[in-house]
Amino acid sequence: MADEPKSGGFMSWVRGHIPTRETIQHNRFLRPFAKQLSQPNLWHFNHRSVPRGVALGLGVGVIIPVMHIVVASVLAIPTRANVLLAAACTLLVNPLTIPPLYYAAYKVGAWELHHEVVVDPNAAAQVSGELSKLLFWVHEASGPIALGVLTIALIASTTGYIVSLLLWNFWVRSKWRARRMERRAATK
């Protein structure tokens, strides 16, 4: 079998894997949501759905460390965000980035609360085993961590929204500029 030529690259691959209305209608699990899933903003890249998808993916990815792709995809429906971008942006939070993210969340939360967690040595001595001591510390630090996670999620989603909106506008302007230059060249 001969290799097929690659025409279109990544965007062709994405378009080939995005479900169509027919596949959604025929899927028994998606059929109850077919009307909501047929909204164009969910599957097309435009100036509204792209920043929403980026912001949603970053926010959900930071707040929910497990199954964040599914949660972001489901939340993309009522927010009319791009499902693909919402799911893809959650991947910035992964097993390699979770430890530094949660440490940063603890530091941010402790700074916001003006409260550094100091574990009572007597209480910690009652806990045996290294894993138990770690879990005890996490329990004691859960307030600053939770506040820090929410703060980082808010900052990440806001920054993602603004940056993607600016990049989208820059890309559209460059496309229009290129069209103008082509038209000018064609008229000369």
- Cβ within 8 Å of residue 42, ≥6 positions away: 49, 76, 77, 80, 81, 82, 83
- 101: pLDDT confidence band, cut at 50, 70 and 90? very high
The mean pLDDT of the chain is: 82
| pLDDT the model gives residue 42 | 75
User: Out of 10-14, 86-90, 145-149, which region has the weakest mean confidence (pLDDT)?
Assistant: 10-14
| pLDDT the model gives residue 7 | 56
Tokens coding 77: 């429906």
Read off the pLDDT of residues 127-174 as tens digits, 9 standing for 90 and up: 566 667 667 777 777 888 889 999 999 999 999 999 999 999 999 999
| pLDDT the model gives residue 4 | 47
Q: What is the residue extent of each domain of the chain?
A: 44-187
Distance CA 169, CA 187 (A): 27
Checking if the pLDDT of 6 tops 60, the result is: no
Helices 68-79 and 49-63, axial angle in degrees (round to 10): 140
Read off the pLDDT of residues 20-58 as tens digits, 9 standing for 90 and up: 667 777 777 777 777 677 776 777 788 888 999 999 999
Cβ count near 182 (within 10 Å): 10
Query: pTM higher than 0.75 for the full model?
Result: no
Residue type, 100: P
Percent of the chain residues topping a pLDDT of 90: 29
In this structure, are residues 81 and 160 in contact, taking their beta carbons and an 8 Å threshold?
no
Question: DSSP label at 31?
Answer: G
